[in-house]
């Protein structure tokens, strides 16, 4: 016997607003692949640029995972509104400001900038600069997602571990992280998706990379903006469609990883 449940008003409204989100993406995909189909949009420059974006975003996401997992755990267990607010700052300021801030920090005008230059670590138009900016802007996305993961976890295993004498940091890495590895990976991939989409800060600090193996390569968002200036809509839309496809794949992997456990647990 099959039961056909009629969608209620809320479901219909949700479908409508979901379609609103899809519309611009669908336009880019249809126009990029079917209408314009510009050869420049499929050129090696675009694929090198996407490779740089994926490379730098994945490193940024990994760094964010390493640095901010303890903070997300701390906030989830011992609520700290000050830390929560601070961790949200980079998400709530216009991102060109982030680029300007890093430009200032690493410049010879500041002692820290002079120190970095003295050890040969220039961030301007470099891979480290690109990764730093991406990590900064994507950190809040990860912290929020990881915080949510930790909050949903039962605290009994942690209490037991600490009762056996483990410190909070050891409990985090020996008990909590292994139990939440799948969902934390999904959160990391979500923050990687955020890094892939970044433009404002990297257009200032890492507009074009000057180092091997990406010398002369622009991050994808910058390249697409440049294509718009160079060639107009066609190549920019086609390159955008290619980039969107990659971003959707990353998001689908993230959802898939998240979904495995849900299916197993019957959720």
By beta-carbon proximity to other proteins, the closer residue of 62 and 228 is 228
By beta-carbon proximity to other proteins, the closer residue of 68 and 207 is 207
Residue from 179, 225, 245, 261 touching other proteins (CB under 8 A): that is: 225
201 binds other proteins (CB under 8 A): no
Nearest Cα residue to 137 out of 174, 191, 69: 191
Residue from 207, 220, 240, 250 touching other proteins (CB under 8 A): that is: 207
Return d(Cα 222, Cα 202) in angstroms, integer.
8
Residue from 28, 50, 61, 103 touching other proteins (CB under 8 A): that is: 103
By beta-carbon proximity to other proteins, the closer residue of 42 and 62 is 42
Return d(Cα 106, Cα 112) in angstroms, integer.
7
Nearest Cα residue to 196 out of 225, 227, 222: 222
- Residue 164's alpha-carbon distances to 34, 150, 168, in angstroms, are 62, 21, 11
228 binds other proteins (CB under 8 A): yes
Residue from 231, 246, 251, 253 touching other proteins (CB under 8 A): that is: 231
Nearest Cα residue to 206 out of 110, 135, 115: 135
100 binds other proteins (CB under 8 A): yes
Q: Which stretch binds other proteins (CB under 8 A): 24-32, 160-168, 226-234, 248-256?
A: 226-234
Residue pair 184/65 in contact (Cβ under 8 Å)? The answer is: yes
Nearest Cα residue to 202 out of 233, 225, 182: 225
Q: Residues in contact with other proteins, total (CB under 8 A)?
A: 24
Residue from 26, 104, 121, 248 touching other proteins (CB under 8 A): that is: 104
- Nearest approach in angstroms of CB 63 to other proteins is 23
| The pair of three-digit structure tokens given for residue 110, joined into one six-digit string | 């500041």
64 prior amide bond cis, ω within 30: no
Q: Which stretch binds other proteins (CB under 8 A): 87-95, 137-145, 208-216, 246-254?
A: 208-216
- Nearest approach in angstroms of CB 108 to other proteins is 4
107 binds other proteins (CB under 8 A): yes
109 binds other proteins (CB under 8 A): yes
By beta-carbon proximity to other proteins, the closer residue of 61 and 123 is 123
Return d(Cα 195, Cα 46) in angstroms, integer.
18
| The pair of three-digit structure tokens given for residue 262, joined into one six-digit string | 């849900």
Residue 217, classed as helix, strand or coil, is strand
- Nearest approach in angstroms of CB 235 to other proteins is 10
Return d(Cα 56, Cα 126) in angstroms, integer.
11
Q: Which stretches of the chain bind other proteins, using CB under 8 A?
A: 100, 103-104, 106-109, 113, 122, 124-125, 204, 207-208, 210, 215, 225-226, 228-233
């Amino acid at each position: 016997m099959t039961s056909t449940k009629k969608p209620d008003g809320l479901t219909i409204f949700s479908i409508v607003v979901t379609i609103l989100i899809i519309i611009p993406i669908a336009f880019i995909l249809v126009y990029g692949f079917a209408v314009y189909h510009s050869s420049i949009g499929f050129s090696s420059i675009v694929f090198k640029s996407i490779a740089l974006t994926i490379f730098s975003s994945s490193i940024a996401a990994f760094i964010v995972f390493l640095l901010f997992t303890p903070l997300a755990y701390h906030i989830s267990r011992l609520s700290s509104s000050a830390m929560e607010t601070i961790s949200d700052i980079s998400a709530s300021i216009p991102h060109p400001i982030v680029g300007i801030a890093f430009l200032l920090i690493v410049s010879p005008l500041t002692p820290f900038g002079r120190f970095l230059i003295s050890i040969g670590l220039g961030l301007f138009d470099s891979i480290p600069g690109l990764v730093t900016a991406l990590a900064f802007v994507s950190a809040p996305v990860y912290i929020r997602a990881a915080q949510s993961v930790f909050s949903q976890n039962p605290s009994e295993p942690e209490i037991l571990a600490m009762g056996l004498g483990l410190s909070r940091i050891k409990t985090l890495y020996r008990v909590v992280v292994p139990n939440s590895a799948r969902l934390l990976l999904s959160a990391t991939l979500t923050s990687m998706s955020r890094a892939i989409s970044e433009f404002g800060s990297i257009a200032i600090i890492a507009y074009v990379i000057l180092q091997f193996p990406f010398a002369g390569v622009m991050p994808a968002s910058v390249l697409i903006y440049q294509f718009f200036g160079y060639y107009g809509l066609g190549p920019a839309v086609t390159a955008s469609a290619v980039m969107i496809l990659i971003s959707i794949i990353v998001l689908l992997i993230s959802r898939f990883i998240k979904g495995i456990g849900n299916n197993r647990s019957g959720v």
